[in-house]
């Protein structure tokens, strides 16, 4: 059976020479490869017709982490903590989410990826959790190593996520200052942080429509996090 082609959404950054670059953090690609897939970077400079052509070749998409989504995309308000907005990335990813849902192709959202899927499905975000969702859980741990296990999440019994992880509580890293305010249409919440913030959701009835707020690609030393990628690649392989 051929290996599935997995698209990875990209960020626009400046490299060490100050040149604009499309980039994906290496752990995403490594996690896909280790799970048996072939990672393919999706650039931001192609229009919707070419994205449609690319979607015909891809077996699944991972919506990767990154900077903040423009609050106007979800009816939010400007906030001084919202930074590095990239309109082209927002629009590309929202289009891709809606196309993947329409085509019923597998997709996985990670951190920003969870947030952009929620926005694409009509949901909204807290622009800044410390200001708008105060609680006992520290969600933004960028001052810690990326594999630092910041807190536990409670996984809903009977959910696809619980079946994949084979457990109903798992410790995760936490590298975000935004989160889900209102869940998008047709999405089912499947995990919560100790303060009640939605940490994962799934799209019932999909071949594999799932998103997590943490970064499993940085936690590949933990079997449960590897299982997320293995289950996703397996779902993609089933349609390749």
Q: Which residue has the higher pLDDT, 240 or 116?
A: 116
Average pLDDT over the chain reads 96
Q: What is the pLDDT of residue 52?
A: 96
Cα separation values, 201 from 4, 37, 49, Å? 24, 23, 29
Q: Is 80 exceeded by the pLDDT of residue 240?
A: no
Q: What is the pLDDT of residue 40?
A: 98
Read off the pLDDT of residues 92-109 as tens digits, 9 standing for 90 and up.
999 999 999 999 999 999
Q: What is the pLDDT of residue 117?
A: 98
Cα separation values, 184 from 2, 30, 66, 125, 202, Å? 34, 30, 20, 10, 11
Q: What is the pLDDT of residue 135?
A: 84
Write b or e for each residue in 17-52: b if 16 or more Cβ atoms lie within 10 A of its Cβ, otherwise e: eeeeeeebbebbbebbeebbbbbbebebeeeeeebe
Q: What is the pLDDT of residue 125?
A: 98
161 within 8 A of 155, measured Cβ to Cβ: yes
Q: What is the pLDDT of residue 123?
A: 98
The model's pTM: 0.97
Q: Which residues are catalytic?
A: 111, 215, 217
Q: What is the pLDDT of residue 162?
A: 97
Read off the pLDDT of residues 17-42 as tens digits, 9 standing for 90 and up.
999 999 999 999 999 999 999 999 99
Read off the pLDDT of residues 183-195 as tens digits, 9 standing for 90 and up.
999 999 999 999 9
Q: What percent of the chain has pLDDT over 70?
A: 100
Q: What is the pLDDT of residue 239?
A: 77
Read off the pLDDT of residues 47-62 as tens digits, 9 standing for 90 and up.
999 999 999 999 999 9
Q: List, in order of start, the domains of the chain with CATH numbers.
A: 5-237 (3.40.50.880)
10 within 8 A of 24, measured Cβ to Cβ: yes
* Stretch 85-91: mean pLDDT: 96
Q: What is the pLDDT of residue 151?
A: 97
**pLDDT band at residue 134 using 50, 70 and 90 as cut-offs:** confident
């Amino acid at each position: 059976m051929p290996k599935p082609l997995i698209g990875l959404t990209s960020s626009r950054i400046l490299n060490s020479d100050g040149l604009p670059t499309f980039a994906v953090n290496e752990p995403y690609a490594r996690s896909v490869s280790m799970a048996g897939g072939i990672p393919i970077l999706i650039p931001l400079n192609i229009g919707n017709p070419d994205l449609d052509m690319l979607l015909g070749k891809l077996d699944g998409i991972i919506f990767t982490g990154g900077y903040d989504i423009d609050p106007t995309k979800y009816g939010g308000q400007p906030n001084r903590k919202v930074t590095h907005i990239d309109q082209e990335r927002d629009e590309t990813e929202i289009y891709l989410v809606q196309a993947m849902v329409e085509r019923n192709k597998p997709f996985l959202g990670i951190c920003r990826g969870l947030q952009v899927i929620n926005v694409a499905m009509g949901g909204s975000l807290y622009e800044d959790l410390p200001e708008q969702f105060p609680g006992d859980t520290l969600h933004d741990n960028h001052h810690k190593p990326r594999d630092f296990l910041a807190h536990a999440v409670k996984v809903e019994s009977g959910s696809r996520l619980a079946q994949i992880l084979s457990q109903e509580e798992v410790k995760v890293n936490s590298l975000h200052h935004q989160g889900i305010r209102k869940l998008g249409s047709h999405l089912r919440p499947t995990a919560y942080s100790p303060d009640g913030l939605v940490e994962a959701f799934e799209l019932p009835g999909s071949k594999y429509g799932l998103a997590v707020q943490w970064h499993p690609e940085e936690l590949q030393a933990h079997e449960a996090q590897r299982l997320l990628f293995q289950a996703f690649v397996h779902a993609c392989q089933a349609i390749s």
